[in-house]
Amino acid sequence: MNTGKIGKVYLVGAGPGDPKLITIRGLEALKRSDVVVFDRLAGPQLLNHARQDAERIYVGKLPDRHTMKQEEINQLLVDLALQGKSVARLKGGDPTVFGRVGEEAELLRQNGVEYEIIPGITSAISVPAYAGIPVTHRDLASSFSVITGHESPDKLDLSIHWDKVTNATGTLVFLMGVAKIGYISEQLVKHGRSPQTPVALVQWGTRAEQRTLVGTLGDIEAKVSEANFKPPAVIVVGDVVGQRETLSWVERKPLFGQRVLVTRARSQASELVAKLDDLGAETYEYPVIETRLPDAAGNVQAIREALAQADVYDWVILTSVNGVEYFFRWLESEAVDIRRFHRAKFAAVGPKTAQELAQRGIRADLLPESYQAEGLADKLDGLVIRGQKALLPRGNLARELLPKKLRELGVEAIEIDVYETALSAPKDMWIAEMLEKKQIHVITFTSSSTVVNLLEALKLNGIDDPVAALQGIEIVCIGPVTAETAEKRGIQVTVVPQHATIDGMVEALAERRRIMRGE
């Protein structure tokens, strides 16, 4: 509905593909917009930063229609703004470098729509950098040119003055020119470049599929044909290509080339994502669980009654980071002073849970060597005394092993579900295609519920046989309990770390990759 107020359009450079290469200004515009207009050139994970209620409009190619024409995109931006909406138009790389931003901005201005052009990191410099190739070098090239290679040879000859371009700068960067590599090489040699001039093609730079092919102007066409090298790729011509041998960096990371599906709740995924990113993986967040406060009247009443008698507990046993967080949220909402638990010792299932406690000023009195319920149960045996009382603030899906063990030891175990774990099945237009094309290389499971919920979420996204869709993908489970859940459902587990922690998962995966590469 038209409110009479005209919206604003942000023409945002989304960077070359790695979602972390968007600018702060671009991210701010994305977060505040009512509508996001995007295509495949913008990293799909950037959409996670959009408002939950923001409309998402895909203008790329779909199975039932071709790519929306540029004129149609231009008009779409105008129409949305005239409806009073703020719009983020995500454009791959930098919008002013062969991004046709001039056409979009011109029509917006003609229709009285305010717009802002937000520069992005162009693939012309970032993709070579990720391949270890600087476009300039003090001793090799003091300037560079960025040239389109997308047109047909006759159009290239009209738009490129080969006699001037060939030797105008030390480095030549061609965007979208893989199909014309033979003609480009021929023209450069014809107009003065040596056939021995180094050439590099970097395919899907900054993405998990990044692949680099190196040759010379004299042999690169044959190498491209032999390697079946396909677009999209950036072409770099010049002596700077030789720097790759010493400056290659991202490809040396242990998890380079691995796209990892992270199924953990988005509120908790940041630590795992950061560690995977540091080791060179491309993470794809697809949270299949969410945690929330329980609202059932009976459940809330049980929590209140348990907290009301805080001074009678001998033990408070916490089996997850979520348990700690929600336990303290309930203490706050019920105005229960933590000092009322003065007689209780605190037990934590693992170091992260203990760390979460420590951040609230409480040092865990008990921490097992094995970071799971079984290890905690074994540790409690011999420490607890018959007749004692223990409080277990947990989630609704927690296993019964620990309270059962406590009761066998004569301890009264009071269980309260301080939080609920629920299915999250976000609609994702890429997930089915990525699984079908084997573009997901690793899946991480941090709990049994992530296993169960992923299978259900994939069904809701149109995948009839989720287990079959996961075949051939490396499956990393945080511990044996999660692995058992996966295997019972027909999923072949690849990695289970010695210690059931995020660090353990990441290290075990990295070590497996090193072994597979013979390092």
Q: Which letter does DSSP use for residue 65 in this model?
A: B
Could you tell me if 279 and 249 are in contact, meaning their C-beta atoms sit under 8 angstroms apart?
A: no
Could you tell me if 150 and 233 are in contact, meaning their C-beta atoms sit under 8 angstroms apart?
A: no
CA 92 – CA 87 distance, rounded (Å) = 16
**Closest to 15 measured CA to CA, from 128, 115, 101, 127:** 127
Catalytic residue among 68, 94, 176, 180: 176
Catalytic residue among 5, 61, 190, 459: 61
Residue 455 CB burial class (10 angstroms; 0-12, 13-18, ≥19): buried
Handedness of CA 376, 378, 382, 388 (dihedral sign): positive
Could you tell me if 342 and 285 are in contact, meaning their C-beta atoms sit under 8 angstroms apart?
A: no
Q: What are the structure tokens assigned to 285, written together?
A: 């967040």
Could you tell me if 19 and 125 are in contact, meaning their C-beta atoms sit under 8 angstroms apart?
A: no
Q: What angle do CA 429, 430, 431 make, to 5 degrees?
A: 105
Could you tell me if 349 and 379 are in contact, meaning their C-beta atoms sit under 8 angstroms apart?
A: no
Reading phi first (left if > 0) and then psi (alpha if -120 to 50, else beta), residue 112 is in: left
CA 326 – CA 322 distance, rounded (Å) = 6
Could you tell me if 414 and 306 are in contact, meaning their C-beta atoms sit under 8 angstroms apart?
A: yes
- Residues linked to residue 413 through DSSP beta bridges, in sequence order: 390
CA 353 – CA 347 distance, rounded (Å) = 9
Residues counted in the chain: 519
| Secondary element (H or E) of residue 321 | helix 321-333
CA 221 – CA 350 distance, rounded (Å) = 56
CA 250 – CA 281 distance, rounded (Å) = 10
Which strands form 345-348's sheet, in the order they lie side by side? Answer: 289-292, 412-423, 389-395, 315-318, 345-348
End-to-end, the C-alpha distance of the chain in Å comes to 61
| 176 noted as active-site residue | yes
| 464 noted as active-site residue | no
Could you tell me if 60 and 40 are in contact, meaning their C-beta atoms sit under 8 angstroms apart?
A: yes
| 61 noted as active-site residue | yes
| Secondary element (H or E) of residue 344 | none
Catalytic residue among 39, 91, 180, 417: 39
Active site residues: 39, 61, 176
